[in-house]
Structure 1
Amino acid sequence: MSYKPTSFVCDSTSQLVEGCTLSVRMQKTGLWKRAEILSIKTEGGKRQYYVHFLDFNKRLDDWVGDDDLNLSSVRFPRNRHRQRMELSKESRKKLPDEDHTVSDEITKSQQSQLKQKSVHEIKNVQWIELGRHRIKPWYFSPYPQVMCAQPCIYLCEWCLKYVLSATCLGRHLMKCNLRHPPGEEIYRKNTISFFEIDGRRSRTYAQNLCLLSKLFLDEKTLYNDMDPFLFYIMTVFDSRGFHIVGYFSKEKMSGENNLACVLTLPPYQRLGYGRLLIEFSYALSKCEGKTGSPEKPLSDLGLLSYRSFWAQAILDVLINQKYNDSENKITISINDISEKTAISPEDVASTLKHLNIIMYYKSRYIVCVKGDMVKNHLKTKTKPQFRIDADCLRWVPKEWNGTLGKATRH
């Protein structure tokens, strides 16, 4: 239900309720931005407010204190206040033959459901520790409540098991005999490896991986059934073992979709690993002899990563395409580009449009790549970057039967 906020003279933070909007100081930057209060709690006698900064990604949602609030511009949610007043009046009504015990239980149940629904919008894990990295999560993930009550959740970087304390983790590591993801290594070049994990065979690992990734992917959907999915884990190797950098998943019977979910863990972001994960998904599509496309819609970061990859792959094809001597021009179709890159025709067309290099001329569509675009593209290619070497891939496509329990090689 939409509501119209109204100006509200606020003399004290004690008057603030969920749904109020006001200016809030961002803890990372110190800037004051408009935000909505999503939840309020009291700890150690002090009130804390969980806020969402309007027009910003939910990964910036955070708990703030009284000192971070500017009370001079509070706007109060009028309809929500009215609804609360009506609910309060309704709860005071007494019916002649009312069973108070049952009524109270229903009210408690409804309140619990509303509270749980609210909690799902709020970050519930303060920190996680994974190997040498301590990471602050971006979003909610349904770890057990007893875990979320701790300042930090400790994860085994080999099997992703979660425990309550560093002491518990130390005891677990003495028993855990893994030093790489529990699957088949299908790619290795220098220190980078990929492991293929079958969700059916490594169900616990897959579930723990999904819980971990939900902390950093807002739109990720968690499934209890891991059987229909394959997980491709990218790792970097050192003397201690194969450390997880990121992964992507795909359904075993996914049709054209060659990727369901992709994540590079925060310590490894902005280093080129995300692009490598995407490139690897298309390397598998080439082995299968078909084009691929990620499941839509993409997240904001995912869309940026894919557009960058698509643009580079497509420009590579266009720039290296040879002239047709008989016509003294380059002739290539969207389907030709799709076959060379394994990128679906729809994604090729959308990328050409996004790059603004496709136009309608003399009753036909043509692609016009300007000199400065070629120069920038070639300059980007000269920068050091990770690339997939197809010769290092040791993988044969599988055909999955209807139960997803068994696979046959092509």
Structure 2
Amino acid sequence: MGSLEGTVAENGGAAEAAAAAAATTTAPSCNGKQLEENGNAVDMAQTDGPPAFPAADCGDGPGATGVTTRKGRFGGLVALPLEVGTRMLCRWRDGKFHPVKVIERRKLPPTVSFCGGGHEYEYYVHYTEFNRRLDEWVKLDQLDLDTVEADVDEKVEDKATSLKMTRHQKRKIDETHVEGHEELDAASLREHEEFTKVKNIATIELGRYEIETWYFSPFPPEYNDCVKLFFCEFCLNFMKRKEQLQRHMRKCDLKHPPGDEIYRCGTLSMFEVDGKKNKVYGQNLCYLAKLFLDHKTLYYDVDLFLFYVLCECDDRGCHMVGYFSKEKHSEESYNLACILTLPPYQRKGYGKFLIAFSYELSKKEGKVGTPERPLSDLGLLSYRGYWTRVLLDILKKHKSNISIKELSDMTAIKADDILSTLQSLDLIQYRKGQHAICADPKVLDRHLKAAGRGGLDVDVSKLIWTPFKEQG
């Protein structure tokens, strides 16, 4: 079991709605598999890995030396094994070919049979149309060597890729998951992507689910050779083997996160976990979260944070759905540092529920709140959707004039966020030295429809919570 060093920071920038499932309509929305009681997997995703491919043709090169060449689309010879940086088409799990770039390569272990000609290598590829979470190891059979290209200008390619995401697709990712810590400048971002370019853990088992990971996570060095990790779904300790998890579960007394239950409504429950009192749990949660959050800053101290863990409850216990973290003391009025809904539970309204819950806590504190800055474009999209729905619902019901200050007091949304939201909707004008809100019912209805449906409601009457105060 590991959990001590290299944890993930909770104090970087805030919420980014992941471009993961949104970059293309063919990307799966959930890549978890539900495990039956006997340990067999039931497919929970739209797709479950690449289809089977025909056996490699062993007669196209001097296999005895492990080096061969083939003619590519542009007339040049393609040397095998392929070099890092090579671009071509690769057959993905949807059975179609998509453009990729080779990020890394490695030799297959001697136990894997191959017949030379470059087939003894596998390649870690990035699908240039998709988010990095879909990067994966592929065999040579999946690559179309006739499409090998010369180098492409990175800036041109990035611009072309970004244009492929429509406004509708960006709105759809609002429900996927929100990720944080977008404070990295260009140089730091390149360094981060180089360090984390290859996923170190391919899958995890967490409760009833086997989940494909999305990104690199800085687990302790002794876990570097693990393709799969097994998590206790209650204390979040992680192990290398299923047998270790089974022994652990016989001894683990927890049936819910190790904190105070502050909300219970039906089968939903929210627990507040103090990072100082439950340091190992907080660190384990950070390791787990980093597998599904890309630009999440590495950090070692969880003492300064509170973790709010959302669970679905049944007779077996309280099973983690997602969480958000919050600084115990924030001079900038940040009410949320990082937020995540686990893949098997996405597109069920939990992400919006977590955002709404963070504002209910701010109301209890008697303060206005705002997500930690800076926000990425997609993070802003997620919060702008929440702010739009909350503010326009009030404007529709409020018959008389209402000020920005009054809206802020009613919603706990920071005045700057209210102003920027209404300005983006062209619902505010500056007249005679003050802001005037335009509240035409038809215009409000149109914007509400465009903002999409809200998440699960927070029943404030079920929230039993007092603001954090440092003891002693």
Residues 346-403 of structure 1: CA distance to partner in whole angstroms, max 9, x if unpaired? Answer: 2212222333433456876443345455446777999795211222111111344xxx
1:351 aligns with 2:421: yes
- Residue 275 of structure 1 corresponds to which residue in structure 2? 352
Contact 1:184–1:195 (CA<8 Å) still a contact in 2? yes
- Residue 394 of structure 1 corresponds to which residue in structure 2? 464
Distance in 1 between the 2:445 and 2:241 partners? 53
Of 75, 80, 105, the residue aligned with 1:40 is: 105
Contact 2:396–2:441 (CA<8 Å) still a contact in 1? no
- Residue 238 of structure 1 corresponds to which residue in structure 2? 314
Q: TM-score, normalised by structure 1?
A: 0.78
**TM alignment of 1:91-102, pairs within 5 A:** none
Change (3 A) 1:373 1:238: farther
Question: Any idea what SS the aligned residue of 2:310 has?
Answer: strand
- Residue 122 of structure 1 corresponds to which residue in structure 2? 198
- Residue 307 of structure 1 corresponds to which residue in structure 2? 384
Structure 1, unaligned runs of 5 or more: 1-6, 80-114, 324-330, 401-405
**TM alignment of 1:63-212, pairs within 5 A:** 63-77=137-151, 118=194, 120-212=196-288
User: 43-52 or 131-140: which moved more?
Assistant: 43-52
Contact 2:308–2:325 (CA<8 Å) still a contact in 1? yes
Percent of paired sites with the same residue: 45
- Residue 338 of structure 1 corresponds to which residue in structure 2? 408
Contact 1:22–1:73 (CA<8 Å) still a contact in 2? yes
Whose helix fraction is larger, Structure 1's or Structure 2's?
A: 1
- Structure with the greater alpha carbon radius of gyration: 1
Change (3 A) 1:338 1:125: same
Distance in 1 between the 2:234 and 2:337 partners? 23
1:16 aligns with 2:16: no
- Residue 91 of structure 1 corresponds to which residue in structure 2? none
Of 90, 94, 108, the residue aligned with 1:29 is: 94
Residue 278 of structure 2 aligns with an amino acid whose one-letter code is S
Distance in 2 between the 1:49 and 1:339 partners? 55
Question: Any idea what SS the aligned residue of 1:398 has?
Answer: coil
Of 125, 128, 151, the residue aligned with 1:51 is: 125
Change (3 A) 1:54 1:382: closer
How big is the shift at 1:138?
0.6
Change (3 A) 1:304 1:378: closer
Contact 2:353–2:455 (CA<8 Å) still a contact in 1? no
Change (3 A) 1:364 1:29: farther
Specify which structure has the bigger relative contact order, considering alpha-carbon pairs within 8 angstroms and separated by 6 or more residues.
2
Residue 127 of structure 2 aligns with an amino acid whose one-letter code is F
Question: Any idea what SS the aligned residue of 2:80 has?
Answer: helix
Residue 457 of structure 2 aligns with an amino acid whose one-letter code is R
Q: TM-score, normalised by structure 2?
A: 0.68
Distance in 1 between the 2:217 and 2:289 partners? 8
Question: Any idea what SS the aligned residue of 1:351 has?
Answer: helix
Contact 2:103–2:123 (CA<8 Å) still a contact in 1? yes
1:249 aligns with 2:325: yes
**TM alignment of 1:373-388, pairs within 5 A:** 373-375=443-445, 386-388=456-458
Distance in 1 between the 2:411 and 2:302 partners? 30
User: 235-244 or 143-152: which moved more?
Assistant: 143-152
Q: Cα RMSD over matched residues?
A: 3.0
- Residue 171 of structure 2 corresponds to which residue in structure 1? none
Structure 2, unaligned runs of 5 or more: 1-72, 115-119, 154-190
